[in-house]
Structure 1
Amino acid sequence: MSSYFNVIGTAFFVFPILAFAFTVPYLLFQYKKFGAIPLLRSAIIYSFILYCLTAYFLVILPLPSRAAVAQMTTPRYNLVPASGLIAYWRANHLSFREIDSYLKLFTSPSMREILFNVCMLFPLGVYLRYYFKCKMGKTVLFGFLMSLFFELTQLSALYGIYPRPYRLFDVTDLLDNTFGAWLGYLCTPIFCFFLPSREELDRRAYQKGQKVPFFRRVFASVIDWMALIIFYVAVESVGTEIFPVLRKMQWLKPIIMAFSVLVYFGFFQWLCKGYTAGKAFLHLRLVDRLGGRPKLWACITRYALLYGLVLPAPYYAMCFLDASSFLDDSALEFAGTAFLSALFAAVGCVFGAETVAKLLGSENEYLYGRITATKIVSTIQVPAFAAKEDDQTVKPS
């Protein structure tokens, strides 16, 4: 048993690394489909990943040395079902007529191995029925296929890494694992009675998706900036190709970048009726106060304020603060520089406070959005089943 616990501990140690690699694709998928990241759904998904990782590690770990495997002479496979129990029965001269024989059989190492194999894919049956909504036939099939994958992994000597298999391909394990998945399917109501249904999870997700959380905006901005960099490189390449002299004018690069930002977030977004690449991918849209297409000047002003004033405000404040140390004894110049530094610091503080409020669930638009009379809204289409549930929860006033 200690070896099993060691393997499970290894899975828990590796899981954060795997979870970190999985997080960004998972967040993008959830934001694109539902527009939100429900905590309970995420806990179920990540627990399923942890379970799969643990089951896989139980199949391959502990890893022996290649030299030790090369000296093995044990069989590579067994195609006789329950051969371990049969061998134990014969070796101990057990009798069908004696109750003690059955007690010895059920406490034998072979029976413990069978119980372990049944338990290993038992959670799979629960997950497949509860979360993935699989019928019994599909659950049994997927349980068999997962078990077959494990057994073939052993038969392949861990995909050819070892000179020969160091664990037995056993048809008994295949049957036990499949039975475990089927048993998990049958017992799902016992273990999941306190959890909301999958439909309820989806309904809650779609409800949350009608709001625009902070990180959904961040992911949209990341996608937009990836597209913007491509646009900037294209503009710079075309410009230097047409006018080779521009290659020597390095001071033009910040101007070209600023021009690209205003064209992408201003003109293109207005042309696409409030959509950019990131917003379209994550079902977001920039609208005016009435929910319609924003004006061109509003798009340009909004992102000129954001990228030209709000985000670099702390940098501006530090620059003016440093500049004040190089001034002469003129009180007026010092006061003016200190005032500008404090002004930009205040802009940064307001933005920081608004961001904290967004993280805490505030739905108020940023100040630069209120100035330009624009806001970002969710365009997630709520399915009929979720819309019906919402209608039923509305009480007449």
Structure 2
Amino acid sequence: MLQSYLFPIKYAFFAFPFAAFLFTLPFLIVQYRKYGYINKFRGFVIYLFLLYLMNAYFLVILPLPASRDNIPMASGGLQLIPLNFIRDILKETSIVISNPATYLYLLKERAVLQVLFNIFLTVPFGMVLRYYYRLGWLRCIVFSFLLSLFFELTQLTGLYGIYKHPYRVFDVDDLLMNTLGGIIGVLIADWTSSLLPKIDRLDAHVNPAAKRVTYIRRGIAYLIDFCLWSFLQNILDHTLNLPLSFLVSSGIYFMLIPYLTGGFTFGKWVVRIRLTRTGTNPKISLLSLVVRYGILYWLLFGLNQISSNVDEYSSPIITVLVVLGTFALDVAFFIHVVIYAIRREPQLFYEKISKTKQVVAWEPKGEQAQQNS
């Protein structure tokens, strides 16, 4: 029986890196929006919670039937009698009531192990709800019940209709034991809370506005901005048939909009960073934005645009020279970014020339504002 539990856990650990990869981008965005920075302990708890949920889900659905056209279960897939597990234990047990030495056999019997499994399955869920999310008792109980109901409905629907018939029993006792597990998890969280960092105090002595803008944060902002910029460029290029759409769209999105918004593009706003000038006057100017992004988009990226079309109007020799020259510039720029990222240098070459930089856009609120004042 132990092997039947280890099999889903093994697959959950195999799948976790892929799920974590997909989860990372929304996780980072939420953390930057809500807290202004990434707290390592908070990230550890959330990813550990993700791993737990994947293990719990895989334990519920695996192993899968061999075919989608699975045969119906003899019981119909429903067990609606509360506390029916007591009858199963009494029917299957080999213990002798008059002989206490046989009581240890309970820990080896299928019916008992299944009850214990259903309790332990949701203990971590109750712990995280209580400790990390700081939910009250009633909400923890309700969410533990809803998680169990989700598991049971997953089984009752044959994995949401993928399989023709349910391949596991919808058991009301599982609902009761899973909910009990959540309650036990809440109790454990209360008992051990003094040994763990206080979640509500993690940011007490942190000033997000003083944090360095990491290249990961900048990369997320650029990913969002690139999608919107490309959409704008396609509108100008295909809908309005506007010449030089690359130059016009980059000028509007990366120069005009940040000037009008005080240093924000939409991507920068999402991750709470903005552009400022170095020196005594931090307010961003249109000239500094034109210099900054003119070097990056109109010069560096513009050469890539030219090289992609140079063969249409140039000789083969000029085409080769332009393509090789552009490739060399791209490689040099890539190396430049990598080196500066490793060294944690805050300004790339075009930022130094334009005398601009990126800072965390964070305004302290409430108690934090008083502590930082």
Determine the C-alpha separation between the residues in 2 that align with 1:209 and 1:178.
44
Matched position secondary structure for 2:358: strand
Q: Deviation at 1:199?
A: 2.0
Q: State the 1:117 CA deviation.
A: 0.9
Q: In structure 2, how many angstroms separate the alpha carbons of the residues matched to 1:287 and 1:116? A: 56
For residue 259 of structure 2, the aligned residue among 270, 292, 295 is: 270
After superposition, residues 103-114 of structure 1 pair within 5 angstroms as 103-105=104-106, 107-114=108-115
The 1:301/1:113 distance shift into structure 2, 3 A limit, reads: same
Q: Are the structure 2 counterparts of residues 158 and 204 from structure 1 closer, same or farther at C-alpha, using a change threshold of 3 Å?
A: farther
Equivalent residue, structure 2, for 1:367 = 349
Distance 1:199 1:373 in 2: 38
Tell me how far 1:50 sits from its aligned partner: 1.4
Query: What does the per-residue CA deviation read over 1:28-50, in whole Å, with 9 as the maximum and x for residues that have no partner?
Result: 22233333333332222122111
Q: Distance in 1 between matches of 2:75 and 2:364?
A: 58
**Counterpart in the other structure of 1:259:** 248
Alignment of 1:23-38 (within 5 A): 23-38=24-39
Distance across 1 between alignment mates of 2:54 and 2:239: 49
Match of 1:358 in 2: 341
Cross-structure match for 1:284: 273
1:188 is displaced (CA, Å) by 1.8
- List aligned pairs for 1:206-355, cutoff 5 A: 207=208, 210-237=211-238, 239-240=240-241, 252=243, 255-289=244-278, 290=280, 292-309=282-299, 349=332, 352-353=335-336, 355=338
Alpha-carbon shift at residue 296 of structure 1 (Å): 1.6
Seen in structure 2, the aligned counterparts of structure 1 residues 263 and 82 have a Cα distance that, compared at 3 Å, is: closer
Q: Could you tell me which residue of structure 1 aligns to residue 138 of structure 2?
A: 137
Cα 1:95–1:283, aligned 2, differ >3 Å: closer, same or farther? same
Question: Structure 1 residues 98 and 81, CA, compared in 2 at 3 Å: closer, same or farther?
Answer: farther
- Structure 2 residues without counterparts, runs of 5 or longer: 307-316
2: CA distance between counterparts of 1:211 and 1:270?
22
Partner of 1:175: 176
2:359 equivalent to 1:377? yes
- Deviation (angstroms), 1:59: 1.0
CA contact (8 A) 2:72 2:165 kept: no
Q: Which has the larger radius of gyration?
A: 1
User: In the alignment, residue 344 of structure 2 is paired with which amino acid?
Assistant: G
Deviates more, 1:375-384 or 1:125-134: 375-384
Aligned to 2:120: 119
Tell me the SS of whatever aligns to 2:159. helix
Residue 17 of structure 1 corresponds to 18
How far the C-alpha of 1:169 sits from its partner, in A, is 1.7
Q: 1:395 — aligned with what?
A: none
TM-score, normalised by the number of residues in structure 2: 0.82
* Equivalent position of 2:309 in the other structure: none
Inter-partner Cα distance in structure 1 for 2:201 and 2:254: 37
Q: CA RMSD in A?
A: 3.6
The structure-2 alpha-carbon separation of the partners of 1:204 and 1:222, relative to structure 1 and needing over 3 Å to count, comes to farther
- Are the structure 2 counterparts of residues 83 and 32 from structure 1 closer, same or farther at C-alpha, using a change threshold of 3 Å? same
Q: Which structure 2 residues correspond to residues 83-98 of structure 1 after superposition, within 5 A?
A: 83-90=84-91, 98=99
Deviations 1:49-84 (A, max 9, x none): 111111111111111234884164135222233323
Cα deviation, residue 99, structure 1: 3.0
CA contact (8 A) 2:137 2:186 kept: yes
Q: Is the 8 A contact 1:210 1:379 kept in 2?
A: no
CA 1:206–1:161 in structure 2 vs 1: closer, same or farther (change >3 Å)?
A: farther
| C-alpha distance 91-16 of structure 1, shift in aligned 2 (>3 A) | closer
Change (3 A) 1:107 1:385: farther
Structure 1: gaps of 5 or more residues: 241-245, 247-251, 317-325, 328-336, 392-397
Q: Percent identity?
A: 33
Contact 2:123/2:182, CA 8 A, preserved across alignment: yes
What does the per-residue CA deviation read over 1:310-334, in whole Å, with 9 as the maximum and x for residues that have no partner?
5678999xxxxxxxxx79xxxxxxx
Q: Residues 182 and 92 of structure 1: is their aligned pair in 2 closer, same or farther, counting only changes over 3 Å?
A: closer
Query: How many aligned residue pairs are there?
Result: 360
**1:41 equivalent in structure 2:** 42
User: How many Å separate the matches in 1 of 2:354 and 2:229?
Assistant: 22
Contact 1:156 1:165 in 2 (8 A): yes
Note the 1:52-67 alignment, pairs <5 A: 52-66=53-67
Query: CA offsets per residue over residues 218-264 of structure 1, 9 Å max, x none?
Result: 22222222222222223234643xxxxx7xxxxx5xx3312321233
Counterpart-to-counterpart distance in 2, 1:196 and 1:92: 44
